[in-house]
Amino acid sequence: MDGKTILITGGAKRVGAAICRRLHAAGANLVIHYHQSAKEARKLQAELNSLRAGSAMLIQADLLDCTSFSNIISTTLNHYGRLDALVNNASSFFATPVGSIGEDDWLDLIGTNLKAPLFLAQAAAPELRKQRGCIVNISDIHAERPMKNYVIYSIAKAGLDGLTKSLARELGPEVRVNAVAPGPILWPEEANKIDEVSRQRIISHTILKQAGNPDDIALAVYYLIANAPYVTGQVINVDGGRSVKL
């Protein structure tokens, strides 16, 4: 990973930050995208650059605005001179029960979870082909088994799985494209809406009978970028076996 450059969307906090730390520890230079999490992004950048000077840069952008994508890629290339991997981690997540769904909900959830990964991948593809790089999308086990009351989110992640496989065909053999589908790793930021009984019920559906942690996802992303030269078009569930028991 030494000398390679990786772009991570939504990399300022939570799972995104864990992915950044794991890839940085392996020697990669990082381009950390954020939208509104400026404080967290700057803190993470300072942490990583204190370990290796100049190894992390920030890009602020609203991923609902596709016109920003060419600038994200050009800024990356101007700064580091190359792009070896793209991690589409940024995501919006909120309930959309039938009867209350609005068009703005659709545009937000489809935009961040499906549209942005497609168009950002398209913008990055020429450089990724040049470097024989890869793309890793962060999906969700609920892409296959939709979550009740989360209609649009579930649709978007199902689409992301389809996009992963389609892009693998479109961009191969030069570019590998895979996805990681987390299970119960972190509770949503509005975790107060999930009571302890509900949390334990979710955990009970895993084979391993425990929640995971963000580094479990980071390790899977690292594997797909660094140690999986013959893997493409795959969605890897990192969920303690929950997808088997659902």
Residue ranges covered by each domain of the chain: 5-187+213-239
pTM: 0.94
pLDDT tens for each residue of 104-124: 999 999 999 999 999 999 999
The pLDDT, as a whole number, for residue 92 is 94
Per-residue pLDDT band at 10 (split at 50, 70, 90): very high
Greater confidence, 210 or 227?
A: 227
Greater confidence, 240 or 149?
A: 149
Residue 235 clears pLDDT 90, i.e. is over it: yes
The pLDDT, as a whole number, for residue 194 is 64
* Third-level CATH fold of 5-187+213-239: Rossmann fold (3.40.50)
Extract the tokens encoding 1: 């990973």
Mean pLDDT over each residue of the chain, to the nearest integer: 93
* Structural Rg of the chain based on CA atoms: 17
3-state secondary structure the chain: CCCCEEEECCCCCHHHHHHHHHHHHCCCEEEEEECCCHHHHHHHHHHHHHHCCCCEEEEECCCCCHHHHHHHHHHHHHHHCCCCEEEECCCCCCCECCCCCCHHHHHHHHHHHHHHHHHHHHHHHHHHHHHCCEEEEECCHHHCCCCCCEHHHHHHHHHHHHHHHHHHHHHCCCCEEEEEEECCCCCCCCHHHCCHHHHHHHHHCCCCCCCCCHHHHHHHHHHHHHCCCCCCCCEEEECCCHHHHC
Greater confidence, 186 or 109?
A: 109
Active site residues: 153
pLDDT tens for each residue of 98-108: 999 999 999 99
